[in-house]
Structure 1
Amino acid sequence: MIHHINFRVIAHATEDLSKVDSALDFFLAPCLSPKDQLCDLKETIETEGHFNNPITIQTAVLKKKGACSKFVQFFKENISEEDVQILREQMPERLDDDLNFYMRFSKQEAAAGKLKFTESSDAIFVRVKIETYPKSWEKAGPIVEELFGSK
C-alpha cells in the first residue's frame, strides 16, 4: 500500500520558525508510537533563497507501516468533504509514473490545528510513495483512491 511518506516545509526569514515547526508537528504527532520522538523524525537544513535571504527547510519521513496508516487515519478524520472532492478530481495528475502521490496543505491552517488543502507554494508538501508489485500506475490509482478519496 504505502511504502513511505515524505513531508517538506520551507520557512522563510520573515516567518516564525516555531509556528512552521508546529505546523509540521501537526502532521507528524498523530503518527507516532509512544516510543517515537518528533525530533528523531525531522531534519533541518539551513540555506539561502534567491536574494540571499535565509531559508530553513524541514523534512520528515514516515517509514513504518503503522505510522503511515496513522497518517491516513489522521487525514480522513481532519480533511473536509470539499477538499476530498478536489483531491479526487485531481488524483490522476497528482500520481506520477514513479507512484508518488503529491499533496499540499496550508502551513497557516496547520499551525492553527486544521487540515486544509492548498495549491499555494507556501505549503507543507506531502509525498506518499505507493507500493505495488509489479510497479504499476494502473494498480496504484485505486490504492490512492481508497486511501485518500473518501473521509
Structure 2
Amino acid sequence: MMLRAHHIRITTFIHATEDEDKVLEAIGTFIPEEIDDDDVLFDVEETKGFFGNPIKVVNVEIKRSRAVRAFLKHFKELLSEGDKRYILENLDEKVDEEGTLYIRFNKQKAYLGEVEVDEGADVIQVRIKVKAFPMRKEAVVKAVKEWLEE
C-alpha cells in the first residue's frame, strides 16, 4: 500500500556555527537521487535566533506527484524498524487536524547519511501532507499506519 500525499516539506535551521553545505547535505539524505532538481524547491531565509544570533531557515518543498511518490518510497526505506515502531506508537500526536504527518530527525546523524527519529531541538523536520478520504485526522492516521506496517 502506497501512502498518497499532496506535498512534502522539509525544514531545518543552520546556526552560525554550522557549515551551510553540510546542513544541505544532511537534508539531501532524505531526497532520493531520482527526483529532478526542478522538483525540489529550496529556500534559505536569514533570520535571528532567540538571542539575536543569526540563523538561516531552510525550507524544502516537493510538490509534483511523481516526485512525492519517489520521496515517500525512499523515505520509508530509510526508516529503521525501531523508528517505524516509534512513529506508529506515537502516531496520534504526529498527525495534526489538517492531516499533516510531522516527523523530526537527528540532524547530526543525517550529516552521516543516517536517519534517526529525534525529538531534540536541533532536528530536521519532515512534514508530509497526506491525501486521505474523508480528510479527517483518523483517516490519515489509518493510512499512515497501513503504509508503515506493511
User: Shared fold (TM-score greater than 0.5)?
Assistant: yes
How many residues are treated as equivalent by the alignment?
147
1:86 is aligned to 86
Is the alpha carbon distance of 1:144 and 1:71 closer, same or farther for their aligned partners in structure 2, counting shifts above 3 Å?
same
| Residue 18 of structure 2 is aligned to residue 19 of structure 1 | no
Q: How far, CA to CA, are the matches of 2:69 and 2:48 in structure 1?
A: 35
Deviation at 1:37, TM superposition (A): 4.3
Task: Tell me by how many angstroms 1:28 deviates.
Answer: 2.2
Overall identity of the aligned pairs, in %? 34
Residue 98 of structure 2 is matched in structure 1 by 98
Alignment of 1:48-67 (within 5 A): 48-67=48-67
CA distance in 1, matches of 2:35, 2:89: 30
Indicate whether 1:138 and 2:138 are aligned.
Answer: yes
Equivalence for 1:150: 149
TM-score normalised to structure 2 length: 0.89
2:5 matched to 1:6? no
> 2:78 is aligned with what amino acid?
N
Query: In structure 2, do the counterparts of structure 1 residues 23 and 60 end up closer, same or farther at CA, with 3 Å as the change threshold?
Result: same
User: What TM-score does the superposition give when structure 1 sets the normalisation length?
Assistant: 0.88
**Superposition RMSD in Å:** 1.8
Q: 2:107–2:124: 8 Å Cα contact kept in structure 1?
A: yes
The CA distance in 2 between the partners of 1:113 and 1:150, in whole Å, is: 24
Unmatched tracts of structure 1, length 5 or more: none
State the 1:113 CA deviation.
Answer: 0.7
The gaps in structure 2 that reach 5 residues or longer are none
Distance 2:121 2:33 in 1: 24
Aligned to 1:32: 35
SS in 1 for 2:96: coil
